[in-house]
Amino acid sequence: MSGLLTFPLALLVVLVLCIAGYLLGRRRAVGRVKGDTRALHSRPVHHGWHVVMATLIPSFAVLVLWAFLQGLVSSVYLGTTVADDLPELALPESQREGLEDEEIAVREGARRELFLGNVRVLNEAIYGAISSDVISLPEIEAWDAAETDVGGELRSAGQIAPIGVTPAMQEAALKLYGFERTLSAIGPLLVMLLAAIGFIWALSRIDGDFRARNVVERWVMGLLIFASTVAILTTLAILAAVTFPSITFFREYGLFDFLFGLTWAPAGDTVGVPEGPGGEYESLLGFLPLIWGTLYISLVALLVATPLGLLAAIYLSEFADRRVRAWVKPALEVLAGVPTIVYGLFALVTIGPFLQAVVGTTIMPNTVSVMTAGVVMGMMLVPFVSSLSDDVINAVPQAMRDGSLGLGATPSETITKVILPAALPGIVGAVVLAASRAIGETMIVVLAAGALSNVQGLEPNPFGAVVTVTTRIVAVLTGEASGFDSIDVLAVFALAFTLFFITLALNLLAQRIVRRYREQYE
């Protein structure tokens, strides 16, 4: 984002224009009617704001767009400057033997990508070296890549630069550098120009009859509506992000093989280039072992969280006196506010070794296991279950309690025989929500469930290590993937796809149950 560094100046100019515009707009509005503000259709403030908006909105929109488009434009430029017949891009004769034309094309494409990547890195290095005043542009232009080690020079100037820079590479990088300099000079200029035009135009419109208030209010309304569509845009973006790569993956790998495969063993095939002997992918990407691990841990977590959370909620809402509540509720909130990575580390360094000491190393060879992650995740979910249960228990009308107590039932009988049956749908909703959380939980399982990259079959031992959906997502996407070119990366998006829809379904189900339940007592 080299070009952005001059945008702060443009921003500053826009800001100054805004403040000046506000003050001038007000002043001018008053001046137009010779101080008799009653002759104005809108208050002077509105005229001020009108100028601010005319200055700010177009220029700011261009600024944001520019920041995003700059990269795209320069990459298109780079694509067009690098000629296809460069000798560096051709596959050497020695490697062409026995290859079909299609494969040569794929490999030459990869060489081109590599070349372009190197040009980009070189460009960044040149920019870095120049902006830190170590080397000047003419100096770099003077280097002859055939004789000077351009990469080495830049590395010794503290930059990250490719090895084996060729003259063509140097030339392309310098062209790209020049183009980007021009682009990033035009951008801020355009922004400032737009701001100035808006500023002058808005000031010129000020008049006694000008309905500044209506214009301002219409724009504010538009901005409010835009802001509230962010949630929809986010949802759509998430949907697109998980769906498109998944579709490619299912088409390439096969939906059936994914859903019912019992082995997860990524091998790093490139998309479209299966490397197995029979033309199939060498990567084995079966979903079952991962979802098994996820559900196994979630089950343990729910078995811990549901009874504890429910009993705690019952005790707090029906038995505890005010002083106990005043202490226990904040303690539960503390538990709920602890970041999950803290739980993950706790599971790893305290609970895992403890469990291993209790059950022995024959049953539990590692400190990471289903139980390690499940027990801690269960404890994490206790406050969640208890506060949701507390809500539904309190939503049972007092008339039910009175009715039962009035018949001579003890408080416990009232809870077990009247309140709990009445609250059951709401409690089920709470547990479903907790299940959705458990399935989507990441950091605890990443640290405490196991980290194998290859798994085969379904681990039955609750003290054995498993791999979960979220663990695999983190493992692959934290790595150095830079595009959707590996089948393993696509597979991870298929995992994300299933994760998103499973949790979405559970959430919708829980919301439905809880809404029905609340309507019953309204």
Scanning residues 237 to 256, which ones bind another protein (CB under 8 A)? Answer: 237-238, 240-242, 245
Residue 256's Cβ-count burial label (10 Å; 0-12, 13-18, 19+) is: exposed
Q: At a CB cut-off of 8 Å and minimum separation 6, what does 372 contact?
A: 347, 348, 351, 352, 355, 448, 449
CA dist 399 and 395 (Å) reads: 11
CA dist 510 and 485 (Å) reads: 38
CA dist 310 and 325 (Å) reads: 15
Q: Of 116-145, which residues contact another protein (CB under 8 A)?
A: 116, 120, 124
Helix (H, G, I), strand (E, B) or coil at 236: helix
Q: Of 42-101, which residues contact another protein (CB under 8 A)?
A: 71-72, 75-76, 78-79
353 near another protein, judged by CB under 8 A: no
- Cα Rg for the chain, rounded, in angstroms? 32
Query: Do 433 and 510 meet the contact criterion of CB atoms below 8 Å apart?
Result: yes
Helical spans, DSSP H, in 82-166: 93-96, 101-131, 137-142, 150-156
- Give 200 or 335: the residue with its C-beta nearer to another protein: 335
| CA atoms within 13 Å, Cβ hemisphere of 426 | 23
- Give 57 or 345: the residue with its C-beta nearer to another protein: 345
Q: How many other C-beta atoms are found inside a 10 Å radius of the C-beta of residue 8?
A: 10
441 near another protein, judged by CB under 8 A: yes
453 near another protein, judged by CB under 8 A: no
The residue within the footprint of another protein, chosen from 436, 449, 452, 466 (CB under 8 A), is 436
**Minimum distance between the CB of residue 266 and another protein, rounded to whole angstroms?**
16
- Give 140 or 242: the residue with its C-beta nearer to another protein: 242
By rule CB under 8 A, what string of x and - marks binding of each residue 251-280 to another protein?
Answer: ------------------------------
CA dist 184 and 320 (Å) reads: 66
Q: Of 320-349, which residues contact another protein (CB under 8 A)?
A: 322, 328, 331-332, 334-335, 337-346, 348-349
Q: Of 179-198, which residues contact another protein (CB under 8 A)?
A: none
Give, in order, the Cα–Cα distances in Å from 316 to each of 311, 391, 400, 419.
8, 11, 18, 14
358 near another protein, judged by CB under 8 A: no
**Minimum distance between the CB of residue 177 and another protein, rounded to whole angstroms?**
14
498 near another protein, judged by CB under 8 A: no
- Give 287 or 493: the residue with its C-beta nearer to another protein: 493
The residue within the footprint of another protein, chosen from 176, 192, 447, 465 (CB under 8 A), is 447
- Give 15 or 146: the residue with its C-beta nearer to another protein: 15
Query: Do 320 and 328 meet the contact criterion of CB atoms below 8 Å apart?
Result: yes
- Give 91 or 405: the residue with its C-beta nearer to another protein: 405
231 near another protein, judged by CB under 8 A: yes
**Minimum distance between the CB of residue 277 and another protein, rounded to whole angstroms?**
29
Q: Which stretch binds another protein (CB under 8 A): 52-60, 95-103, 281-289, 403-411?
A: 403-411
Query: Do 480 and 302 meet the contact criterion of CB atoms below 8 Å apart?
Result: no
- Give 3 or 464: the residue with its C-beta nearer to another protein: 3
The residue within the footprint of another protein, chosen from 132, 394, 412, 454 (CB under 8 A), is 412
Nearest CA-CA partner of 280 in 262, 259, 246, 257: 257
501 near another protein, judged by CB under 8 A: no
